[in-house]
Structure 1
Amino acid sequence: MAVKEPLAAIVGPTATGKSVLALHVAARLKAEIISVDSAQVYRGMDIGTAKVPPEERVGPGGVPIAHHLIDIADPDEPFSVADFQKMARTTITSILQRGHLPMLVGGTGLYYQAVVDPYIFTPMPGDKKIRHNLEAMAQKYGNEYLYAELQKVDPVAAERIHLHDRRRLIRALEVYLMTGKPISAALEWRRKQESPYRLAAVALTMPRHKLYRRIEARVDAMIAQGLVEEVRGLLKRYDYRLPALQALGYKEIGAYLRGEMGLAEAIELLKRNTRRLAKRQLTWFRRDKRLYWLEVEPNNIEEMAEKIVGYIAEHLDINVQ
């Protein structure tokens, strides 16, 4: 039996401090970071996705830490989870060939699982008639109708798919109507399969009220850093209806710039939607029993980093100097 390649990960909900902790951990473990964020793949979307600026991608003592799968597509380029999986697995192999440890860092649960679990993206042929009917119903009654129908036939998938994600709602219903089986059944099968990697994964969490305060402070900081100007620049170049520009932060500020709401309302909506995202992320990652959960102590980064280093080193049999 072939020896599995080692893979580390730091995942969890937004605003828990994954990026900062990862820099400390990567420096100790001689790791390279692979971003697991569905929005950070896009160029020009920097402030709203909380990318670590290139000049700050260093660990303690100024040790440079390589980051991968950031800024690899323009917002108007099609980019799927299957694309991400292929690129991430190729990157993992190349990092190992350099004698370094690959470390996934981020909060997009589907992207994370597509890498660490045996996801096989063999597209099931669609049914144009079914899809057309579902799209017509969505136009007539709204996403709420699709969501209610999905809750009836596949409540597990409904829990994972956001009300506003019409494309995925339609796809989940299409699969059910074509096969008579919920799309979530395939996800459950994947979860029961063995990972292709020797995995050591840490998930960060914190008390809900503290996390929500951090989320609100982060949104305020993004506005101060120029999020409105960043979105304005993107909307001059791209159609606001592009999937990339429906990402958190870009959708809300875009609505403000189109005159659909005031700035204060857009900011409050962004805070609310970010809190909801964090809740969904926690729900997603809680299902993965392989994760080692660690409560974040923001004022004790070094000690937390040591705990993560110790856990990863022990599980991957790595000597830490």
Structure 2
Amino acid sequence: MIGHVHSFVSAPVAFIGAQNVAKGGRVQLSESHPAVPPLHQIDPARHLLIAGPTASGKSALAMRVAQAQGGLIVNADALQIWSCWRVLTARPSAADEASAPHALYGHVAPGVTYSVGDWLRDIAGLLDRRLIVVGGTGLYLTALTRGLAHVPPTPPAVRAEGNVRLAAEGGLARMVADLDPATRARIDTLNPARVQRAWEVLTATGRGLADWQADTPPPLIGADDAQRIVVTADRDWLADRITARFQAMMRQGALEEARAMLSSWDPAQQWARAIGAPELIAHLRGQIDLPTATERAIIATRQYAKSQRIWFRGRMKDWKTVEADQKGTERN
């Protein structure tokens, strides 16, 4: 990982604080500005890619750049694509979308299957203008900048069989054992979604995922076509922000969003993977009380942020790192 790049940061400007306010139905951070590179160091003629863990202030950074330089803000967060979650995934508010153009937020209906390949096809149609791509889904961002092999879609019957196998006792371990050695060595074998996807590809095509990935085409946005920034922050500081933000989400309607999806809830669906959704649904079903649901959701969000940081450190080492300036940060 590239070390702390303090010279790249406008030193007097602090990252948005942990105190959250809600505007237009979306949880937002306080009005202080994020630590950003001086605008003259950001080339408006090139795309800007901003990665970072959840609650790190990257969306506010994208807004500031868009308002100063222009550009289309494009979502690179696999949780913010779903139309059913605005508050719970901290999607941009209607006011945000009115003040700067946004794309690929909340554009997928629940029940629709949506992959990183679908996202790349969507973003390919936007490349006729300057993009500010912002998000925390490392797979999206690495696929965008390194390319993604075309893997045939999984037939519904194979997907259904995979769901059954994974749900069975010891299903994950058996799926891992069934994979071809090259794929098994490459993927996160503790991630059920990744393992099932690899198993489905091998079962449906007779060819391992690693073999398909070896035929990777050129990236949509190469290293010379964009500035690439990874926002980093102190773990404890970020944990405090995650807590404050989720509490604000609860005040601003996250539970109501979950209630609206209660009748159609299916934990096997992609849209049901929104962080905090399973815990709120469990509360609405009377399985746990609300304080417990809230605390578990906050813990799940912190774990998600940890997995994001691991991805950035391991797979995006050639991105420039900008560390949050936490001095003078508001807290509550």
Give the TM bin, normalised by the shorter chain. 0.7 to 0.9
Question: What is the CA–CA distance in structure 2 between the aligned matches of 1:274 and 1:219, rounded to whole Å?
Answer: 9
Question: Quick one: which of 281, 297, 300 aligns to 1:270?
Answer: 297
The one-letter code sitting in structure 1 at the alignment partner of 2:133 is: L
Using a 3 Å threshold, how does the CA distance of structure 1 residues 45 and 130 change in structure 2: closer, same or farther?
closer
Q: Which residue of 2 aligns with 1:53?
A: 93
* Deviation of the 1:49 alpha carbon: 0.6
Question: Quick one: which of 289, 311, 327 aligns to 1:284?
Answer: 311
Q: Percent identity?
A: 27
- Asked if 1 retains the 8 angstrom alpha-carbon contact of 2:138 and 2:312, the reply is yes
Question: What is the CA–CA distance in structure 1 between the aligned matches of 2:220 and 2:195, rounded to whole Å?
Answer: 27
Question: Quick one: which of 25, 33, 51 aligns to 2:73?
Answer: 33
TM-score (norm 1): 0.74
Q: Are residue 76 (structure 1) and residue 104 (structure 2) matched?
A: no
Question: Quick one: which of 102, 119, 127 aligns to 1:92?
Answer: 127
Q: Which residue of 2 aligns with 1:173?
A: 199
Question: Quick one: which of 65, 70, 86 aligns to 2:100?
Answer: 65
For the aligned residue pairs, the C-alpha RMSD in angstroms reads: 3.3
- Asked if 2 retains the 8 angstrom alpha-carbon contact of 1:253 and 1:267, the reply is yes
Q: Which has the higher helix share?
A: 1
Q: Which residue of 1 aligns with 2:36?
A: none
After superposition, the C-alpha distances for 1:240-292 in whole angstroms (9 at most, x for unaligned) are 33320232121221122122222222212211111111111111122123311
Using a 3 Å threshold, how does the CA distance of structure 1 residues 76 and 125 change in structure 2: closer, same or farther?
closer
Q: Are residue 162 (structure 1) and residue 197 (structure 2) matched?
A: no
Question: What is the CA–CA distance in structure 2 between the aligned matches of 1:246 and 1:14, rounded to whole Å?
Answer: 15
SS at match of 1:293: strand
SS at match of 1:78: coil
Question: What is the CA–CA distance in structure 2 between the aligned matches of 1:71 and 1:194, rounded to whole Å?
Answer: 25
SS at match of 1:200: strand
Using a 3 Å threshold, how does the CA distance of structure 1 residues 274 and 130 change in structure 2: closer, same or farther?
closer
Question: What is the CA–CA distance in structure 2 between the aligned matches of 1:232 and 1:142, rounded to whole Å?
Answer: 32
Q: Which residue of 2 aligns with 1:116?
A: 145
For these two proteins, the number of residue pairs brought into alignment is 279
Question: Where do 1:136-285 residues align within 5 Å?
Answer: 137-146=165-174, 149=177, 153=181, 154-158=184-188, 162-163=191-192, 165=193, 168-175=194-201, 183-184=209-210, 190=216, 196-197=221-222, 198-236=225-263, 238-241=264-267, 242-285=269-312
Question: What is the CA–CA distance in structure 2 between the aligned matches of 1:252 and 1:152, rounded to whole Å?
Answer: 35
After superposition, the C-alpha distances for 1:278-317 in whole angstroms (9 at most, x for unaligned) are 111111122123311110125689xxxxxxxxxxxxxxxx
Question: What is the CA–CA distance in structure 2 between the aligned matches of 1:299 and 1:22, rounded to whole Å?
Answer: 21
Question: Quick one: which of 53, 66, 69 aligns to 1:13?
Answer: 53
Task: Name stretches of at least 5 consecutive residues in structure 2 with no aligned partner.
Answer: 1-44
After superposition, the C-alpha distances for 1:74-127 in whole angstroms (9 at most, x for unaligned) are 11223222221111110122xx2xxxx211011111222232332132317779
The one-letter code sitting in structure 2 at the alignment partner of 1:77 is: V
SS at match of 2:74: strand
Question: Which moved further from structure 2: 47-56 or 72-81?
Answer: 72-81
- Asked if 2 retains the 8 angstrom alpha-carbon contact of 1:131 and 1:170, the reply is no
Question: What is the CA–CA distance in structure 2 between the aligned matches of 1:146 and 1:82, rounded to whole Å?
Answer: 27
Question: What is the CA–CA distance in structure 2 between the aligned matches of 1:66 and 1:13, rounded to whole Å?
Answer: 23
- Asked if 1 retains the 8 angstrom alpha-carbon contact of 2:154 and 2:200, the reply is no
- Asked if 2 retains the 8 angstrom alpha-carbon contact of 1:150 and 1:157, the reply is no
The one-letter code sitting in structure 2 at the alignment partner of 1:84 is: W
* Deviation of the 1:69 alpha carbon: 0.6
Q: Which residue of 2 aligns with 1:308?
A: none
TM-score (norm 2): 0.72
- Asked if 1 retains the 8 angstrom alpha-carbon contact of 2:85 and 2:257, the reply is yes
Question: What is the CA–CA distance in structure 1 between the aligned matches of 2:198 and 2:66, rounded to whole Å?
Answer: 38
- Asked if 2 retains the 8 angstrom alpha-carbon contact of 1:256 and 1:266, the reply is yes
